[in-house]
Chain A
Amino acid sequence: MIRYARLAMTALLGLATLLTTLGAAHADQMEKARIGVLRLSSSAPVFIAQDKGYFRDAGLEVELKFFDAAQPVAVATTTGDVDVGITAFTAGLYNLAGKGTLKIIAGMSRDRPGYPLIGYFASNKAYEAGLKTPKDLAGKRIAITQVGSSFHYSLGLLADKYGFKLSDMKLVPLQSMSNMAAALKGETVDAALLPVSAARKLMDDGEVKHLGWVGDETPWQVSGVFAGPKTLADKELVTRLLSALQRAEREYHDVVLATVKDGHAAIDDKTKPLLAIIGKYTNLPVEQVAGNCAYIDPQGRLDVKNVDDQIKWLQAQGFADKGYDAEAIIAKDYVKAD
């Protein structure tokens, strides 16, 4: 009896496999790809495309490799440990690209008004002393992760916007979020830039004061998709991968981002499955995911002009090597510009 049941199961499984294969029949064969990514909601489309099988539909067998910082993703892409990397643009990444070891193939998340991602936070003492808005950051001691990081650049944009000099702020590189949070709590810095995920608890406990969001003050292209020379040469692979990503991006944009109001996505029958997928990959409850939605262009476009600005700014600060611009590090065949 059991034996027959097993036989039936095997047959069913076989049939299912056959059907799946037929379903992907428009792709000639399954190609393998490894994607390096951080467990952050700013990479939401990657998780959706993987979980809902969009990569598979495009004939790709994708393996996600998780990292805990942006820099190693870029390095792993350079060394070929992953085929494609998705993470924030940093001076380190641009310098790798400037040496020709990787190129940007698409945009990912952006800081944009109405989508809280990175915030300016003040210590209670500094707040009492009159640090109430981002504009007041001039002349203050501000914790950042590293020199040349996206936080550093954000502050540069802020300085430009309000017409003061970057050097008017005393920037304190503390290397890690926990160090920054400790410095802010201990009131040894006046302010810090923190992602909403790291700051929420401090904010709720009344240990820091929220001043504003980078997206509201200075919108910019935060992260992107990039690949090494070997992957870039495989046109078929890149095209399929980007199309699968864009399918997920479109869905994420239309279903989740469309409901965002006051920085929060609605949690309803339509958004919940997607939020649950993001929560699964970022190890966050759905409620928190909904309050932490990164804006992502539905077509995966890249703000090329902003990328060029970033590079120029980093070069001017001495954080990026001279001698290249956005043109040089963007794979024009693939990138859709704004």
Chain B
Amino acid sequence: MLDRADVTESPAGDATEVARPVRFRGAGFTPATSRHAGWLALAAALAVWQAAGSLAPVNPLFLPTPVAIARALYQLAISGVLWQHVSVSLLRISAGWALGTASGIVVGFAIGLSRIARSIGISFVSALFPIPKIAVLPLLILWLGIGEAPKVATIALGVFFSTTISVYSGVDAVPRNLIRMAQSFDVPFATIVRRVIWPGALPSILAGFRITASVALMLVVSAEMIGAETGIGTFVLQAGNLMQTDQLMAGIVILSAFGLAVGKLISLLEARLLHWR
């Protein structure tokens, strides 16, 4: 018979060897986001920035203070120029983005679904994607003139390649077993594309939207290099040329705000369309 410990005895009560708790080792690697901390950090950064500008002898030319930027924005807003710039640019961005996205989706699906389109398409996309759009501006001007067409085309081009890549990788990522399942029920090709491949590729396509929306915002500056009189890109370019750094920063703030808004919009879209994930 084995001796058994008295069950009423506290296990830590053994005097000869003091029991110690097992050290917790599982901390970290689970970052949780706190909404307030983010805003607080932003506010603190702005405060330090403002203090650096107004207390220390930092030349406002090098780093305009947040207040100066806010003032520049305010003046733009009340003069009505801001809305002119914003609306013109938004029109170009949305037209270019829509055009690039629509054609990118078509080509991306073709590459994802057809052997011929795939063998031709992938090499074309790989060859043309890395060309900096600014480098082809003279060509775009030759082909399309200096009206709205080349501006929209600049944005559309940048968006197109990104979209194509995210769409065909999305199509590639649709589980083959779902397609086989649909085939086993004699579901017609068009229905498979619409009800299996499209929703299956949607997460990747939406992730692509996130990137292409930023690309479109970045390219509006390049696009408005082509003889634009208004637009947020023109405004930024002009402020840079004229060394009006507070205006320049104001323009950048507007572009950032666009970026944030678009990011939010896409998050909403994702929450709506991808709730099944």
Contacts and interface: CB of A to CB of B under 8 A. Distances in A.
Q: Quick check: do A and B touch in the complex, using CB within 8 A?
A: yes
Interface string A129-156: 0000000000000010011110000000
Nearest to B139: A182
Contact of A179 (B61, B62, B226, B242): B226
Contacts of A75: 243
Contact of B244 (A78, A101, A173, A321): A321
B243 A96 contact: yes
| Most B C-beta atoms less than 10 A away, residue of A93, A95, A143, A179 | A179
A118 interface: no
A218 B137 CA distance: 31
A147 B137 contact: no
Interface residues of A, number: 35
B242 A148 contact: yes
Interface residues of B, number: 26
Nearest to B145: A188
A23 interface: no
B202 interface: no
B69 to A, nearest CB: 16
Contacts of A38: none
B244 A182 contact: no
Interface in B131-175: 137-139, 141-143, 145-147
Nearest to A71: B241
Nearest to A189: B146
Interface string A90-102: 1111011001010
A90 B243 CA distance: 10
Contacts of A199: none
A176 B227 CA distance: 11
B238 interface: yes
A175 B244 contact: no
A174 interface: yes
Contacts of A174: 141, 146, 225-227
Secondary structure of the A contact surface, majority rule? mixed
A148 B137 CA distance: 22
B110 interface: no
Nearest to A148: B242
Interface string A179-199: 101110110110000000000
Contact of B225 (A175, A185, A321): A175
Secondary structure of the B contact surface, majority rule? loop
| Most B C-beta atoms less than 10 A away, residue of A75, A78, A79, A186 | A186
A79 B58 CA distance: 12
A143 B227 contact: yes
Given A78-B61, A143-B227, A182 B138 contact: yes
B113 interface: no
A95 B138 contact: no
Interface of B: 59-62, 137-139, 141-143, 145-147, 225-229, 234, 237-238, 240-244
A181 B243 CA distance: 26
Interface string A72-84: 0011001100000
Contacts of A78: 61
A183 B227 contact: yes
19 contacts: A91-B243, A92-B241, A92-B242, A93-B243, A95-B242, A101-B59, A101-B61, A146-B237, A173-B238, A175-B225, A176-B138, A179-B225, A182-B137, A183-B141, A183-B146, A183-B227, A188-B141, A188-B147, A189-B146
A149 B240 CA distance: 12
Contacts of B142: 182, 185-186
A178 interface: yes
| Most A C-beta atoms less than 10 A away, residue of B61, B227, B229, B234 | B227
Nearest to B150: A188
A172 B146 CA distance: 8
B157 to A, nearest CB: 16
B82 to A, nearest CB: 15
A173 B141 contact: no
